[in-house]
Amino acid sequence: MDRHAKPARWVAVHTHPHREHIAIENLVRQGFESYCPMIRRRVRHARRTSDVLRPLFPCYLFVRIDPESQRWRPIESTFGVRSLVRFGDQLGFVDNAFIESIKAREVDGAIVKPAEPYRPGQQIRIAGGPFEGLVATIISMNERDRLTVLMDLLNQRVRVQIAARDIATW
């Protein structure tokens, strides 16, 4: 092996919506090492909830290539792939350490999310936005860091959605 040879690097790949699994299947068939980090999400459909695996980065996955010695252009015409991520005319390489840190957080094929900092029923003080200084009770939190809270406004209990960054616990 050449001492000056660069090791294979991860490159970001943009996929067609909801086609990450098809792109990976076809890339692996062509001999490319591919990785699509997944996260477990709770979804509700027809009054039933279930846990499903969804991509951590929707419409993106990573492929390990050696651009100097490997024919990587076929990636761009792979079924399920929209394009390679580029910055100008340079490929969008991702540090190996970043990919390894994501893989290290996987348990049973899915990234483990950190525990939620807030829980339903918790009292909070709003620290930003139009309701700054008011006290509220958390009802729920969605996956986009928005909280539904219950607060007293004009002598009525009102449900309001606020950004998680706008609250403080006490």
How confident is the model at residue 145, as a pLDDT? 74
Say yes or no: 54 and 98 in one domain. Answer: yes
Say yes or no: 36 and 100 in one domain. Answer: yes
Averaged pLDDT score across all residues of the chain = 88
How confident is the model at residue 1, as a pLDDT? 47
> pLDDT per residue over 71-130, tens digit each?
989 999 999 999 999 999 999 999 999 999 999 999 888 888 766 677 888 888 988 888
How confident is the model at residue 159, as a pLDDT? 92
CATH number of domain containing 137 = 2.30.30.30
Say yes or no: 134 and 70 in one domain. Answer: no
Rounded to the nearest 10 degrees, how much is the dihedral formed by the CA atoms of 145, 24, 93, 54? 10
5, pLDDT greater than 60: no
Say yes or no: 105 and 133 in one domain. Answer: no
Contacts of 19 by beta carbon, 8 Å cutoff, 6+ apart: 80
Say yes or no: 135 and 104 in one domain. Answer: no
2, pLDDT greater than 90: no
DSSP assignment, residue 166? G
Mark which of 61, 78, 111 sits at the end of a domain.
111
The 3-class SS string of 81-150 reads EEEECEECCEECEECHHHHHHHHHCEECCEECCCCCCCCCCCEEEECCCCCCCCEEEEEEECCCCEEEEE
How confident is the model at residue 96, as a pLDDT? 94
Mark which of 71, 89, 111 sits at the end of a domain.
111
> pLDDT per residue over 141-161, tens digit each?
876 678 899 998 888 899 988
Mark which of 66, 88, 111 sits at the end of a domain.
111
Q: What is the residue range of 139's domain?
A: 123-169
- Residue 1 in any domain: the answer is no
- Residue 116 in any domain: the answer is no
Contact status, residue 116 vs residue 140, Cβ threshold 8 Å: no
Say yes or no: 24 and 106 in one domain. Answer: yes
Q: What angle do CA 106, 107, 112 make, to 5 degrees?
A: 65
In the beta sheet, which residues pair with residue 71?
none
- Residue 118 in any domain: the answer is no
pLDDT band at 29 (very low <50, low <70, confident <90, very high): very high
How confident is the model at residue 81, as a pLDDT? 97
How confident is the model at residue 3, as a pLDDT? 52
Say yes or no: 88 and 134 in one domain. Answer: no
**C-beta atoms surrounding 122 within 10 Å:** 16
CATH number of domain containing 30 = 3.30.70.940
